[in-house]
A and B are shown apart, each in its own frame.
Chain A
């Protein structure tokens, strides 16, 4: 904007210009650094609300009475290098007559009049803008604090250019030091591989079909930390219903998510334990009732018959029942012991040593069956485990393999350990009769579940083993083919 030609004011008298200045919402002052004389324009007085009689027009009066003491330094800095290019105007507070201190913008220039250096300056009331700026700063601060505390940032993708805008907090979540410009693909590349197609698809669907999304995914940060994040996007549409941008939030939900996941796994564990307890109660009730029922039955028969032979036979049965009763009680005690053994704590145990102990205990059975047993614990020779459990696990799997050997061949048992990541696995393979997992898979580890007509089958071994393994946080996986063999994969820790 210019109302001058060649930066001159042709046809305008000095009086006229002064008149214009006086009516502008700005004040002009002048200060002669040699004489110390000061001049203030009418606009200067008007802006501050004073009558010229009310206030002395002097540098001292301005500096001491009008200028807020905190802003003196800023003001001095600005007038000590007047006229220099690129000196930003100073923002200062001056005391007005009616409204207390208000914000002004001060610009100053140096020029020479009659060989004497004169500084003149222009003051503009910027109070409204300054307050708005403070409010904005406050809002921005609150907003970024909220994002920082909630670990939540926002992003926007322009649908046409696929240009991506990210707020500072997103870089913090990514653990990127500087907010470098990133493309959508680059941002996605930080997600763990299995989640990348999911997010790509979600963004495409948002752009193409205006479909919002809300996903919880794993992010590998610049510092190689893997954390759970939640990214939620909504399409922004134009009047024609087309997506012009996708706007969303991005939040670090690692703590909450991990808590949720661990809670879920606790629930699953409790659920399993609960089912096992129910099953256990069912079996105990069934078996105790079965023995008690038989005992009552036999006692009644004993009373009803007069035949001596019959009485002898019935009595023999009563003796058998009494033994079965004791055996069942023994099993119950063993099962209860599983829990109490845990309190004894883990020890570093050597697989080979325990395995050999078990082999020598089972020497007779191994010899009768003609079994060949191979072991290789070199991949992981030892483990922190409850020694009694490991012994029982070895014993049960070997006994199992011997008991369910194939009629046409002597048993061959392979046992080895494996360490994968932080987990230790124990593998047992046999060439026995196998088991139809489709039919019996869910019952395989049940108490007193027997599947073959085998006189030795009691249905307690695998039940005990599974309880011991699971009590220490492990799990058992079975693969089996009827007439070929069975493979147990036991994750010990």
Chain B
């Protein structure tokens, strides 16, 4: 264990509270040092990301669901693309959804801003890989 350990800031945007709970618990069980901020829809997440008060608390990774009320995943991603450069931070964006529809998967694959499309239920091994890499990068940056 490094002395100055820095948490990976995770942003979960999903109206499914059970999923959000499960994700937090999983990361905890797997022993990752993370800090999670969660939102029930895209609009709340955009409000947070554009609020100057939170400029030092921007996430390293965003996990975003598609079907949500008020502002859905696609709309969030569109808004996020516009503000991405202003945040001044490299943020990995993953889509997490229960939609196995080829149209949704294709749409995500064709968007360069989206790192990957994760179908629910999440593959725990793949998720562990992603977080291991993130934590490593984060640690290297702060060292």
A321 to B18, CA, bound (A): 8
CB <8 Å contact, B69 and A450: yes
Instruction: Please tell me which one of the listed residues B16, B22, B69, B70 contacts residue A301 in the complex, with CB atoms under 8 A apart.
Output: B22
Please provide the chain A residues from 274 to 311 with a CB less than 8 Å away from any CB of chain B in the complex: 282, 285-287, 289-290, 292-294, 296-298, 300-301, 304-305, 310
B residues in contact with A317, CB < 8 Å:
18, 21-22
B residues in contact with A301, CB < 8 Å:
22, 25-26, 29
| Nearest CB of A to B103, in Å | 9
Looking at A55-63, A341-349, A383-391, A451-459, the stretch in contact with chain B turns out to be A451-459
Interface residue? B101 (CB, 8 A): yes
Interface residue? B99 (CB, 8 A): yes
CB <8 Å contact, B25 and A310: yes
| Nearest CB of A to B17, in Å | 9
A residues in contact with B128, CB < 8 Å:
none
Chain A residue with Cβ nearest B68: A450
Interface residue? A448 (CB, 8 A): yes
Q: Number of contact residues on B: which range applies?
A: 20 to 34
A290 to B26, CA, bound (A): 17
A residues in contact with B18, CB < 8 Å:
294, 297-298, 317, 320-321
Interface residue? B41 (CB, 8 A): yes
Interface residue? A314 (CB, 8 A): yes
1/0 per residue B91-114: CB within 8 Å of A?
000000111110000000000000
Interface residue? B83 (CB, 8 A): no
A140 to B99, CA, bound (A): 71
A453 to B70, CA, bound (A): 7
CB <8 Å contact, A304 and B29: yes
1/0 per residue A253-288: CB within 8 Å of B?
000000000000000000000000000001001110
CB <8 Å contact, B70 and A286: no
| Nearest CB of A to B65, in Å | 9
Interface residue? B122 (CB, 8 A): yes
Instruction: Please tell me which one of the listed residues A286, A298, A452 contacts residue B98 in the complex, with CB atoms under 8 A apart.
Output: A286
Q: Number of contact residues on A: which range applies?
A: 20 to 34
A181 to B120, CA, bound (A): 78
CB <8 Å contact, A285 and B19: no
Please provide the chain B residues from 94 to 143 with a CB less than 8 Å away from any CB of chain A in the complex: 97-101, 120-122, 124
B residues in contact with A298, CB < 8 Å:
18, 22
Interface residue? B59 (CB, 8 A): no
Instruction: Please tell me which one of the listed residues B21, B29, B97, B124 contacts residue A305 in the complex, with CB atoms under 8 A apart.
Output: B29
Interface residue? B36 (CB, 8 A): no
1/0 per residue B4-24: CB within 8 Å of A?
000000000000101101100
1/0 per residue A421-465: CB within 8 Å of B?
000000000000000000000000000101111000101000000
| Nearest CB of B to A403, in Å | 13
A30 to B22, CA, bound (A): 127
Interface residue? B40 (CB, 8 A): yes
Q: A289-B99, A298-B22 are in contact. List 10 more A-B contacts (CB 8 A).
A: A282-B99, A286-B67, A286-B100, A287-B98, A297-B122, A313-B21, A317-B21, A320-B18, A453-B40, A457-B69
A selection of 13 A-B contacts at a CB cut-off of 8 Å is: A285-B99, A285-B100, A286-B101, A289-B98, A293-B19, A294-B121, A297-B18, A298-B18, A298-B22, A304-B26, A314-B25, A451-B69, A452-B69
Residues of B participating in the A interface, judged by any CB pair closer than 8 Å: 16, 18-19, 21-22, 25-26, 29, 40-41, 67, 69-70, 97-101, 120-122, 124
